[in-house]
Amino acid sequence: MATIVDARGFSCPQPVIMARQAIQAGQFPIEVLVETATSRENVRRMAEKAGLKVRIEEVGDEFKLTITK
Residue-range definition of the domain harbouring residue 30? 3-68
CATH number at residue 54: 3.30.110.40
CA angle 49–54–57, rounded 5-degree value: 145
| pLDDT given for residue 23 in this prediction | 97
Supply the DSSP symbol for 50.
Answer: T
| pLDDT given for residue 60 in this prediction | 95
Number of domains comprising the chain:
1
pTM score: 0.95
| pLDDT given for residue 48 in this prediction | 98
- Residue 59 pairs with which residues in a beta bridge? 62
pLDDT tens digits along 6-52:
999 999 899 999 999 999 999 999 999 999 999 999 999 999 999 99
